[in-house]
Amino acid sequence: MPSHKHREKKIRQDEKRNARNTKVKSEIKTVSKKMRVAAESTETVDMAKLLCDATAVIDSAASKGIIHKRAASRRVSRLAKLKNKTAAK
């Protein structure tokens, strides 16, 4: 255990941030997986709505600094590419 109060506070802050970041990253993975599953399924799904939701979650995480802005851009680009590929079928 730390012997200084500021180190104890730092540990508490780190635990909060870690929990928040884990939650957001998990949400990113969930919306990305929904997009991929919808693209593979034969039933009609509103891919534009799914892409919009995924973009909002990913951009929000990038603005908070949870993921890098270029990583966010890359993820959104790949999902958009998947949507367009599915629409072409």
CATH number at residue 57: 1.20.58.110
Note the pTM of the prediction, 2 decimals: 0.85
pLDDT band at 89 (very low <50, low <70, confident <90, very high): low
Contact 31, 47 (CB under 8 A): no
Per-residue pLDDT at 14 exceeds 90: yes
Contact 62, 68 (CB under 8 A): yes
In the chain, how many domains are there? 1
By residue range, what is the domain housing residue 58? 5-88
What is the reported pLDDT for 26? 98
To which residue do tokens 């999902």 refer? 79
Per-residue pLDDT at 45 exceeds 90: no
Q: For 15-25, what is each residue's pLDDT tens digit?
A: 999 999 999 99
Mean pLDDT of the chain: 93
